[in-house]
Amino acid sequence: MSQILTPAIVHALLRGAVLSVELSVLTYVLALLFGLIAALMRRSRVVVVRGLARFYIELFRGTPALVQIFFAYFATPQIFTWLNKVVFGPLSGGSVLLPPHLSPFAAAVTALSLGYGAYLAEVIRAGIESIHKGQVEAAASLGLGGNDIMRFVVIPPAVRIMIPPFGNYALALLKDSSLASTISVVELTLATERGIAYNYQPAMMWAAAAVIYLVLSMVASFLFVYFERIADPIHRRRGRRLTRLASADDEGTP
Amino acid sequence: MSVEGEAPLIQLKGVEKQFGAFRALKGVDVEVARGEVVVVIGPSGSGKSTLIRCINGLEKHDGGSIIVDGIELHDAAELAEVRREVGMVFQQFNLFPQMTVLRNVTLAPMRVRGANRKAAVDIARRLLDRVGILEQAHKYPEELSGGQQQRVAIARALAMEPKAMLFDEPTSALDPEMINEVLDVMKDLAAQGMTMIVVTHEMGFAREVADRVLFMDGGKVVETGTPEHFFQNPTEDRTKLFLSKILRH
């Protein structure tokens, strides 16, 4: 066993896991940003802005993540070359603006964050729209302006509603980050494959990879449960009260 | 109640409201004097709620004019001004669930009137005491009964120190045993001279507290008069029919 699971292989798997986490976290942050922008655009009064957001969401929800990743990695060199030659070249007097290609990591982040941004846009929109119209009317009847209504009345409870689906997509993304292995990002899945090429132990290696993914997923899952708790004012306060009672108890004991 | 010669606080002239093909208000004229309590009754779909929702611009009227305290409702600027002067209480309370009771009441004075926290909290505590809910100030709405929530909603509206209060079926969503605690707060408010328009099915409240009862049907004011006139010898057939239906038992 010790021959098979050498420190070098363990090290390689852990490095792969770290890269998976980095890829997922960075992608998720960008996806939230894209999602927020698209959700706000969908609520715009301008029909073209709404249409653009709709187009983006449908395009990225309607095509496979793997195709998006391949497009970002394999298609962009051709497109960038053409853009440099035909558009940016003449504009900037011959200098080249776009890089010849995206790095595998950048391509994976770009494709996955745009793809997940489309899903998160719908989560955000649904969260905002789930706030009862009566809440907005009550705030308006008190004289609150549009920005205050969003900031104090709509967004806080809407975010609370968004947290569980946000958690779902975080877990899905963590697992989809394995797709980056197809364009040579040495994250956990590719690190596992390469390890197997050394030790010829697919059963043990894939089991190890599965366990690492599972542990990472559970950490993410607990994190979102925690977010849910702190976003729930009543649970938060009960928690505080219990702590206070406990500490009062301590002080009271002679 | 109305003082002779003084301009009415709320004045509606020929107000029209259309929802798609449905004419909810067909030329409604209403005047409410300062300190007057007007109870609006009528069958559902008669335009009662639409009427009071137009007064603070939650619905935009399509025709006629609405003047509140000398301000005519035209566009956003006047709307904000009118909303500061007119409080509203809803059937479903519409408290902000993520805020404590106290925060529900202090939010608007702090954000809209620019009151500092201490002043806003002082006003809120006084009002919560007045509606009998001060000891619940640090709870969240979902921890309160419906009657308590509605009393908080009244305190929240009063915190803006409105010149008039609109009540849109304030007891219709309440369990029967909680209706009186809310009506008592409203009676108390009326006794202290608040100008009120109340849409309600509580005929006892109308009899006891209203200066004037206004009967609406089919988007029009069919009949208006003192509670005595209204309940004892209504003149319009539609009023008689409606009263016979609701007062039978």
pLDDT at A246 over 60: no
Residues B207, B230: Cα–Cα separation, whole Å: 9
Radius of gyration of the CA atoms of chain B, in A: 18
Please tell me the distance from the alpha carbon of residue A146 to that of residue A136, in angstroms, as a whole number.
9
Residue B217 backbone phi and psi in degrees, to 5: -155, 135
User: Whole-angstrom Cα distance, residue A106 to residue A76?
Assistant: 12
Asked if B60 has any chain A CB less than 8 Å from its own CB, the reply is no
CA dist., res. A116 & res. A136, Å (int): 29
Q: Which residues of B touch A160 (CB under 8 A)?
A: 98
Exposure pattern of B47-83 as b/e (b: 16+ CB <10 Å)?
bbbbbbbbbbbbbebeebebbbbeeebeeeebbeebb
Whether B130 and B159 have beta carbons less than 8 Å apart is answered as no
- What local confidence, expressed as pLDDT, does residue A55 receive? 97
B6–chain A Cβ distance below 8 A for any pair:
no
CA distance, residue A38 to nearest chain B CA (Å) = 26
Would you state the torsion angle of the CA atoms of residues B144, B149, B155, B160, taken in this order, to the nearest 10 degrees?
Answer: 120
Cβ of A143 within 8 Å of Cβ of B108? The answer is yes
CA Rg value for chain A: 24
Average pLDDT, chain A: 89
Task: Work out whether the CA dihedral A84, A88, A91, A96 comes out positive or negative.
Answer: negative
Cα separation, B51 vs B39, in Å, equals 12
Q: Cα(B223)–Cα(B154) distance, rounded to whole angstroms? A: 29
Are B203 and B231 in contact by the 8 Å Cβ rule? The answer is yes
Question: DSSP characters for B65-105?
Answer: EEEETTEE--SHHHHHHHHHHEEEE-TT----TTS-HHHHH
> Cβ of A148 and B111 within 8 Å?
yes
**What secondary structure letter does DSSP report for A126?**
H
Number of other CB atoms surrounding residue B87 within 10 Å: 27
Q: Report the predicted TM-score, pTM, of the whole model to 2 decimal places.
A: 0.82
Cβ pair A138:B143 closer than 8 A: no
A236 and A229 in contact (C-beta within 8 Å)? yes
Cα–Cα distance measured from residue B12 to residue B29, given in angstroms and rounded to the nearest whole number:
5
Map residue B44 onto helix, strand or coil: coil
Question: How many angstroms away from the CA of B42 is the closest CA of chain A?
Answer: 23
* Chain A residues touching B153 at Cβ < 8 A: 138
Query: Is the CB of residue A180 less than 8 Å from the CB of residue A188?
Result: no
In the three-class reduction of DSSP (H, G, I as helix; E, B as strand; rest coil), residue A190 is classed as helix
Contacts (Cβ under 8 Å, ≥6 apart) of A93: none
Of B90, B92, B160, the CB nearest to A143: B160
Q: Does B142 touch chain A (CB under 8 A)?
A: yes
Going from the C-alpha of A38 to that of each of A56, A75, A117, A173, B57, the distances in angstroms are: 8, 24, 8, 19, 30
Which of the four pLDDT bands, split at 50, 70 and 90, describes residue A71? Answer: very high
Whether chain A has a CB inside 8 Å of the CB on B143: the answer is yes
Residues in chain A: 254
Report pLDDT digits (tens) over A6-37. Answer: 899 999 999 999 999 999 999 999 999 999 99
Write out the two tokens for A8: 């070098």
- Tokens (6 digits) for B219: 């988007």
Task: Tell me if B56 and A141 make a contact (CB, 8 A cut-off).
Answer: yes
Non-local CB neighbours of B73 within 8 Å, separated by 6+ positions: B57, B61, B65, B66, B67, B79, B82
Nearest to B97 among A140, A145, A157 (CB): A157
**Torsion on CA atoms A213, A215, A221, A227, rounded to nearest 10:** -120
Confidence of residue A98 (pLDDT cuts 50, 70, 90): confident
The answer to whether the Cβ–Cβ distance between B156 and A233 falls below 8 Å is no
Distance from CA of residue A12 to its chain's centroid?
Answer: 24
Q: Looking at this protein, which amino acid is placed at residue B154?
A: I
CA dihedral A151, A152, A155, A159 (to 10 degrees): 130
Taking the alpha carbons of B112, B113, B118, B124 in that order, is the dihedral positive or negative? negative
Who contacts A67 (Cβ-Cβ below 8 Å, separation ≥6)?
none
Task: Render each residue's pLDDT in chain B as its tens digit; 249 residues.
Answer: 444 557 899 999 999 999 999 999 999 999 999 999 999 999 988 999 999 999 999 999 999 999 999 889 887 778 888 998 999 999 999 999 999 999 999 999 999 999 999 999 999 999 999 999 999 999 999 999 999 999 999 999 999 999 999 999 999 999 999 999 999 999 999 999 999 999 999 999 999 999 999 999 999 999 999 999 988 888 899 998 898 888 765
| Residue A252 confidence (pLDDT) | 37
